Structure 1
Amino acid sequence: MADSTTMTIRLDEALKSRLSALARTMQRSKSFLAAEALRDYVELNEWQLQELETAVKEADADDFASTDQIRSVLSKWGLDGD
């Protein structure tokens, strides 16, 4: 298991109660569930930001699909490319 550290966060009472109930039902600690949720959030947002950065670099380099490539994809989906 990786080293861990402590972090304090503020939650509204309703969310804290929901987390507590979920932890009991899942037989996990609130800390475990919170860490898992934060890990998922960070991974998702890192991925999205990386994809955006890549897209901006491609756009800056004028790396766009050609008209024929777009028509091909639209045709594959049964859509009109015009």
Structure 2
Amino acid sequence: MSVMSLRIPDEIANTLANLAKATGRSKSYLAVDALREYLAREAWQIEELQQAVKEADAGDFATSDEVRAIADKWNTNAR
């Protein structure tokens, strides 16, 4: 396991300490858990964007009828 040192604002440090105390978890555990979730979410978003660019480059777009059907669905649900 790697060790990393970083500076965090006092506000975040205080929130982390309070959460650690309230949950019985270590600050390190909570920080790693938060970082893990953030990285997974960001990686997912990047993958989705890269796939969308590939589809756009291939000319894979929704037809006018498909766009209209989705718009109609949302407009009907909004009423």
- Above 0.5 in TM-score? yes
Moved over 3 A (4+): none
Q: Deviations over 1:12-56 (max 9, x none)?
A: 222111111110001100000000000001000000000110111
Question: What percentage of aligned pairs have identical amino acids?
Answer: 43
Gap runs ≥5 in structure 2: none
Root-mean-square deviation over aligned CA pairs: 1.3
Which runs of structure 2 are paired with 1:1-82 in the superposition (5 Å)? 4-78=1-75
Specify whether residues 8 and 76 from structure 1 end up closer, same or farther in structure 2 by C-alpha distance, changes over 3 A only.
Answer: same
| Greater RCO, CA 8 A, separation 6+ | 2
TM-score, reference length from structure 1: 0.84
Q: Which consecutive residues of structure 1, in runs of 5 or more, have no partner in the other structure?
A: none
Structure in which a larger fraction of residues adopt helix: 2
